[in-house]
Amino acid sequence: MSSLIYKHRFLILRRISQITILLLYIGANLWGWKILQGNLSSSSLFETVPLADPYALLQIFSTGAIVAMDVLVGAVIVTIFYMVFGGRAFCSYVCPVNMVTDLANWIRRRYQFDKAEKKWWASRNIRYWVMGLSFILSFALGTAAFEIVSPVSMTHRGLVFGMGFGWAAIVTIFLFDLFVLKNGWCGHICPLGGFYSLIGRFSLFRVKHNQPNCTLCMKCKDVCPEKEVLFMIGKRSMSVNMGECTLCGRCVEVCDDDALNFSIRDFVKKGEDYEVEQS
């Protein structure tokens, strides 16, 4: 049992983090808790600290609107936080859609979809195109274009303020990830994840690969939702520096050989040093 917990320690931490944040928001709306009010688009912490989604704010800027101070401060706080602690930590520790797509992924692995399914190929850069498009459309239509269709905000807002037909968005993403494209939403399309990838490009916390310990079992690549970030597995010792890494820690958990661990990004060492280390 304890080994089971140990093997899922980050997953458990993430679920606790996701659900706690969700509960605080729900409590604020239903029972008037004054801890975390609003939703992931913009909120206020202890009725004093504003927090805001910087991507939503950029879309609002694109419409040409001039915003009040609160949301600016909030977006700066959030941006700095994820710049330091890892951009896509938002995806794996906060975003409620992550639980849906993780479930789809789990079912995929459990029933070995990979072996039987029809495979589609899609670029993981779609999200950056969607992001660029969202700014253009916000400008053209005078409203934050992704916010009005975002299944992420729809899900979160639905859980806090009432779902309506919002469940349809959740089901769509679930089915899409399960049957159409592996890691389809979070790993290919979601521009919010793309945005946080960019923010977290130089963040402090990173997963680090220790090549000499690696036995090439590839369990890490199996569970990784963004497996292109693990290109160095079995090849070089280095930290996983790509912004697309969500810091979910699944690779660290499944590794039986202590070849992957969380650590601080090494800013000094560059690629060539690793080559030397290896030889």
Tell me how far, at minimum, the Cβ of 185 lies from another protein, in Å. 15
Tell me how far, at minimum, the Cβ of 33 lies from another protein, in Å. 10
Indicate the residue among 103 and 141 with the shorter CB distance to another protein: 141
For CA atoms 79, 97, 149, 114, the dihedral sign is positive
Tell me how far, at minimum, the Cβ of 125 lies from another protein, in Å. 9
Indicate the residue among 76 and 218 with the shorter CB distance to another protein: 76
Under a CB-based contact definition with an 8 Å cutoff, are residues 240 and 206 in contact? yes
Going by C-alpha positions, the residue among 82, 127, 96, 110 that lies closest to residue 226 is 127
Q: Which residues bind another protein (CB under 8 A)?
A: 28-29, 37-39, 41-44, 50, 52-53, 56-57, 60, 63-68, 70-71, 74, 129-130, 132-133, 136-137, 140-145, 147-149, 153-154, 157-158, 160-166, 168-169
How far apart are the C-alpha atoms of 154 and 40, rounded to whole Å? 10
Indicate the residue among 17 and 63 with the shorter CB distance to another protein: 63
Indicate the residue among 151 and 225 with the shorter CB distance to another protein: 151
Who's near 18: CB < 8 A, 6+ residues apart?
93, 94, 95, 96, 98, 99
Q: Ramachandran region of residue 183, left (φ > 0), alpha (ψ -120 to 50) or beta?
A: left
How far apart are the C-alpha atoms of 111 and 95, rounded to whole Å? 26
Indicate the residue among 194 and 249 with the shorter CB distance to another protein: 194
Under a CB-based contact definition with an 8 Å cutoff, are residues 87 and 243 in contact? yes
CA atoms in the 13 A half-sphere facing the CB of 189: 17
Tell me how far, at minimum, the Cβ of 195 lies from another protein, in Å. 15
Tell me how far, at minimum, the Cβ of 246 lies from another protein, in Å. 24
